[in-house]
Structure 1
Amino acid sequence: MGKNSIKTYSTETFRHKFMKPEQELDTILKSDYGKFFIVRVEEMIQLIKLPVPPTRATTHSLIYLTEGEAIMTIGSETFTMYKDECLFVPAGQIFSFSNADVNKGYLCNFHNDFFVGKFGKKDLLKDFEFLTVWGNCHVALDSRTSYYVGHLLQRILEDYAANGLKHTNIIQPYFIAALCEIARVYQPLSSNKKDQSVKIANKFKELLFSKIKTIHLVNEYASLLNITPNHLNKVVKRITGKSPAKWINEILVMEAKVLLYQTDIPIREVAAEIGIFDQSYFSRLFKKYEGVTPLQFRKMIEIS
């Protein structure tokens, strides 16, 4: 395959491959299907094994509902979405959900490389803040925008189900148009995107996702941002509602949950993998945020 060649499959082939037996969702998303696919939400829920424990997204996902509701945890926050709303899971983010909610809509999974081609380029991603780990991943659409997005996704699904990505020159611009429609009504987490404090808070969250396994101290993040720890504390608490220390601890616990689910390595190695070398401290930290010890959490996963 060429450098920008993306392998995919029709909806029917996708359903046949994964319907029996049920698959772990991360198995699907890390396969070739993770390059690009679109499927109806009501069909996707039949393909996966529930509950879906904390799982790291390796590509971007978009969920758009036309009926019903859905509950999903993205990062450390739990969202409930309804008709005419979108949820994005940016690449690198951790997500989970447990219920087979009654709903209809579309789920699209896509790699950054999908934007590279005749009608797109990676620079286009800068226009889509909802695809960043610090952006607002929950977007409510007005009726007009929802109408356009629904029709665009339906058009993509029809061509994709029949031809895969044979007609990329049709699918890519339609998909870019759908994201542009969503971006038009997107509301950032802060009303003033140019505010220096917002930039600091966003950069802090971005650093967390790249440095969390090696840097756990607020003063070290402050140093990377060339500001004082006190200033970082004030800014992050004002913009996000949580202190930098709480952000650090929550993401450490999320990273641990992914390892507890996806591996069978001993608890002490899970702790070491995220940069904590005192197992008793790790267990206390984990129980503080999850209400159970790491060992109890792992047993709960095995039972489910």
Structure 2
Amino acid sequence: MLIFPGRTSFEPMHSTFPRLDIGPLSEYRDDDIMVSRFSDYLQEHQNLVFPHRHSFYHLVLFTDGGGKHTIDFHHFQVVPYQIYFMIPGQVHSWDFEGDVEGYVVNFSESFFRSFLLQPDYLDFFSFLNGDSRQNVVGLAIDIREKIVEQFEELLHQYSQSPVLREDMIRVLLLQLFLTIEQSIAKEERQKSAFHKNAVIANFQKLIDRNFTKHRLPGEYANMLHVTPNHLNALCKEHIGMQAGELIRNRIVLEAKRSLVNLDLTVSEIAYQLNFNDNSYFTKFFKKEVGMTPDEFRKKSAESH
């Protein structure tokens, strides 16, 4: 059953967009953790093919099956030994073919908070940084068996008595994340996120919290105690785009997420995104995306 709870820190706007919480998806009705075989999860929640967002972290390892899945409007083909990660607030949907098998883990934002001295430790993993293009990882051949064993142990621990069960799961999940990140860095497919510039990391967090209120790079530079020129130079060096483009991209992403929700009019979305009027929002969206909000909404509806 789809759930429509209230606003969260990852949802800057009020909306009726379907958002899932862990409890109703969990066999034990836990609010912080859920571990399951993916085939069992799909059997129990067959209606989750429609676009929806989660209030929790969500990861799936595919071991068998095919089809496609979409995260924040980036499309991916499902292949065995592919793992995908989602952070709270991202929108996704799937369309599987044949018998799909694997593992699924859901955990809350607070699951690691009291366990780690560094509260933002998870932000350093490249696949948990909110960029959907990095959310999907094909596991290297040399770590596949190890990763499957780790998921099996997660399933085993999840079925145990509550005594220290969650701490064991936390340790296993961190081991899983470190194994995958180490493999990514080893293959040099991207720079390890553990070397991400601190100013850029904080800039991206500030954008996520303030993009409806602050649109100018200079405003963020003031919050970060750097000059606008320095911020722009760092963005070009570490991300390959200007600071203003990062801000506009975040606004566009939220607009796209909202446009998938047919219960909201374009005017309501423009208002929630803090545009002065619908006309200005339409011009902005078309300039950034290449089509009007109505055209994007129609195209998205047709694809689903």
- Is TM more than 0.5 here? yes
Pairs within 5 Å for 1:36-185: 36-45=33-42, 47-49=45-47, 52-53=50-51, 55-67=52-64, 71-75=68-72, 82-92=79-89, 94-100=90-96, 103-115=100-112, 121-123=115-117, 126-128=120-122, 129-130=124-125, 131-133=128-130, 137-143=135-141, 145-157=143-155, 160=158, 163=159, 166-167=161-162, 169-170=164-165, 172-185=167-180
Percentage of matched positions with identical amino acids? 23
- Structure 1 runs of 4+ off > 6 angstroms? none
User: What is the match of residue 191 of structure 2?
Assistant: 190
**Between structures 1 and 2, the one with greater helix share:** 1
2: CA distance, partners of 1:82 / 1:124: 34
The alpha-carbon deviation at position 238 of structure 1 amounts to 2.2
The alpha-carbon deviation at position 190 of structure 1 amounts to 3.2
Greater displacement, 134-143 / 205-214:
134-143
SS of 2:164's equivalent in the other structure is helix
1: CA distance, partners of 2:36 / 2:229: 47
Work out the number of aligned pairs and report it: 273
The alpha-carbon deviation at position 59 of structure 1 amounts to 0.9
- The answer for unaligned runs of 5 or more in structure 2 is 3-15, 26-30
SS of 2:225's equivalent in the other structure is coil
Greater displacement, 243-252 / 124-133:
124-133
User: What is the match of residue 7 of structure 2?
Assistant: none
- What TM-score does the superposition give when structure 2 sets the normalisation length? 0.71
Give me the CA root mean square deviation: 3.7
Considering Cα pairs closer than 8 Å and 6+ residues apart, tell me whether 1 or 2 has the greater RCO. Answer: 1
Question: Structure 2 vs 1, CA of residues 183 and 159 (structure 1 numbering), >3 Å: closer, same or farther?
Answer: closer
Cα contact 1:153–1:175 (8 A) shared by 2: no
The alpha-carbon deviation at position 133 of structure 1 amounts to 3.6
The alpha-carbon deviation at position 225 of structure 1 amounts to 1.6
Amino acid across the alignment from 1:147: E
2: CA distance, partners of 1:237 / 1:61: 30
SS of 2:117's equivalent in the other structure is helix
SS of 1:114's equivalent in the other structure is coil
SS of 1:173's equivalent in the other structure is helix
Pairs within 5 Å for 1:195-210: 198-210=197-209
The alpha-carbon deviation at position 43 of structure 1 amounts to 4.6
The alpha-carbon deviation at position 299 of structure 1 amounts to 4.5
Question: Structure 2 vs 1, CA of residues 278 and 28 (structure 1 numbering), >3 Å: closer, same or farther?
Answer: closer
- What TM-score does the superposition give when structure 1 sets the normalisation length? 0.71
